[in-house]
Structures are given as structure tokens and as C-alpha cells.
Amino acid sequence: MRSWPSRGHEITAVTGVLIDSNVILDILNEDAEWYAWSAAQIERLADECMLVVNPIIYSEVSIGFDRIEDLDRALPEEFFRREPLPWEAGFLAGKCFVKYRRSGGARHAPLPDFYIGAHAAISGYALLTRDARRYKTYFPTLELIAP
């Protein structure tokens, strides 16, 4: 399993980037297609700003681990700031889900992407992701870092 580059300093940046689980999984799984892009983005951003994950991202990444201790080593708190979901993000995610359903979306429960996008939007973070299409549609003002 891949380890994260050394930061050399504490997380003190004022601005942050929410890191989508697909980018983290690219690195942890050393994905043949996306590893290089994802690793380069993480290394660049680690020197510029705070890297953030939330419980949904943590949960999505956890699927590949048998023990929470192993997951916590893979997502070290000194590298990734862990934040709860803001209540306002829940409201915004619900509104985006309604728009999704009205435009023909077939899923019956709010998708994790809506919560992730809403968290980044409400907190004023950029979002590092490989799946920009849905975020662009439902969060048009959200700054995306995507291929």
C-alpha cells in the first residue's frame, strides 16, 4: 500500500481542498491509469493548502480495509484534516438531490457525491476529484481540480 509524501509542516493553510475518495483510492491501490495524476495533485496540493476528508470519504475508502487501525494509518490525521459534514451541506445536498430526481435521476437516496460536493461548497473548499461531471452540473460555482 502506498504511503503519503512527507509534508514537513503542520496543516496551517487557511484554504482547503476536499479530496474525493476516488483520488485517494487511486493512490492507495496504485491504479495503473490514474495513480500518476492523483499522486501529482496530492503532492502539489499538500504544499499549498489543507487537505480535507469527511466521514463519507472516510467510509468509501474504508471498504478496502479489514481494521480501522489500518485505515487510520492510510489516512493519517497529520496529513488529512478530518471534518464533520456541516448541517448546511445536508440541506444543499438535499436540494441538489431533488434537482437530480426531477431531471430524471434514477437513484432513490441522496448520493454520497451530493454530500461531498455540498461540503466543499459550503466550506469554501475546492474539490479534487476525477468525477467532475456531476459536480459541475449540481455545484456550478464549486472550484474543481479534475483531469
147 residues of the chain, pLDDT tens digit each: 455 554 433 333 348 999 999 999 999 999 999 999 999 999 999 988 999 999 999 999 999 999 999 999 999 999 999 999 999 999 999 999 999 989 988 776 668 899 999 999 999 999 999 989 889 999 999 999 999
Q: What is the pLDDT of residue 84?
A: 95
Residue 28 and residue 61 in contact, taking contact as beta carbons nearer than 8 Å: yes
CB count within 10 Å of CB 44 equals: 12
d(CA 147, CA 92): 25
Specify the pTM. Answer: 0.84
Q: What is the pLDDT of residue 65?
A: 96
Instruction: With CA atoms as reference, report the closest residue to 2 among 34, 45, 47, 48.
Output: 34
Residue 13 and residue 50 in contact, taking contact as beta carbons nearer than 8 Å: yes
Q: Give the dihedral of Cα atoms 116, 119, 125, 127; nearest 10 deg.
A: 10
- Can you say how many angstroms the Cα of residue 136 is from the centroid of all Cα atoms in its chain? 15
d(CA 140, CA 122): 13
What is the CB-side half-sphere exposure of residue 127 using CA atoms within 13 A?
A: 30
Q: What is the pLDDT of residue 109?
A: 65
Which residues have CB under 8 Å from 100's CB, separation 6+?
A: 107, 111, 114, 138
